[in-house]
Chain A
Amino acid sequence: MRHTFEVIYEIDCTVGEAVAAYLDAEHYMFLHHSYTPRYEALWRDGTKIAILQAWQAGPLTMGNSCTTEYQPPSRFLNYDIKPVPAWLPSIHHLVKTRTDLHYYASEDGQRTVSHLTVTLDMPWFMWPLRKLIEARLTRLKIEKDQEDVDMITRSQRTFGRGNLSHYFRKDIFLLHKDVFLAHFGPATAAHDGTG
């Protein structure tokens, strides 16, 4: 049975800033340490990456693997979430989760809309729990985004709102950086404020 829900709100930044924060994977293990203590890339194929997010419980490393896909300029898909190790009792054995996060400019053009669509495919006996799962995932999304919003806001105070030039340096890493720059780089309308 399929349950779909959306989490939609605006954040006070440009679309380029929101996308850059997402692609700035170096902060996942530090700023989001309580959610992502370990982040490891398993494989990469174009703008698709399989990642392992893991936690240490004594000698045991456990977590989830997931395929994350960047659809430029500002869409991110997550799917194929599996527990690691595979024998680990996990909700992901029962519920197939797929998320689609889309950033786009708000109607007045002043902010960025964060539009998350979550699709849960679950067996019938899990159906009564769908609202509980929805509430839990929504809370998690807001908590993590709060940390990102605080990061973006402070970066804006340091570099100026909409200024992405600190990401353009050749010594700064972003996921899919060449693709990102093709859409938000110095030669694009998004960067000079006309886009």
Chain B
Amino acid sequence: MLKKIPHAARLILCPSEPGAEPPLRLRLSALTQDSVKALRGARGQIAAVILRDGKPRAFDARCPHMGAPLETGRCVSGDLICPWHGYRFSGESGALLENPNHAVMKTLRLPSASFDPELKPNYRLREYPLTITDGWIVLA
């Protein structure tokens, strides 16, 4: 949102207000095949929770590429999709599987002194252990 600096004729485009904090526990039944839910751990860590092969999995919600909030991403076939750049992370291992821009931006992704299109970042999401009690998921 645009905010005016007091006593100055300047406008600042401020970041959006932060949303509500993710819950400390999550109903297992709230997870569907394609959903991504946010969950907060006791130490304040935020996880993106998905269903993979019918089992809930929790990964660090901060994308290692640019820091995107993965809990606002998508889940496709049990993999986690980053909302900022579309990077696809395995819902099994947390490893980066695919950067969809490889194909889309082929004409621009040319080798140069500072960029090698053949290199693939070795990003891997940290997985958090979960406990499930009475149908509630909690970060262990």
Contact = CB atoms under 8 A, between A and B. Distances in A.
User: Secondary structure of the B side of the interface?
Assistant: loop
Interface stretch (A69-77, A88-96, A119-127, A175-183): A175-183
A149 B38 CA distance: 22
A145 B14 CA distance: 10
A111 B2 contact: no
Interface of B: 1-2, 10-16, 62, 65-69, 82-86, 99, 101, 104-105, 107-109, 112-117, 119-121
A25 B108 contact: yes
A39 B67 contact: no
A146 B1 contact: yes
Contacts of A9: 2, 10-13
Contacts of A114: 13
A142 B13 contact: yes
A33 to B, nearest CB: 9
A135 interface: no
Given A149-B14, A171-B121, A142 B101 contact: no
Q: Which of A31, A44, A159, A170 has its CB near the most chain B CB atoms (within 10 A)?
A: A170
A174 to B, nearest CB: 8
Nearest to A180: B114
Interface residue range, chain A: 35 or more
Contacts of A155: 66-67
Interface of A: 8-12, 24-27, 29-31, 39-44, 49, 106, 111, 114, 142, 145-146, 149-151, 153-155, 157-159, 166, 168-175, 177-178, 181, 185
21 contacts: A9-B13, A11-B12, A11-B13, A12-B15, A26-B85, A26-B99, A30-B84, A31-B85, A41-B107, A145-B13, A149-B15, A151-B68, A166-B65, A172-B65, A172-B121, A173-B115, A174-B115, A178-B112, A178-B113, A181-B114, A185-B114
Contacts of A149: 13-15
A146 B114 contact: no
Contact of A151 (B66, B99, B107): B66
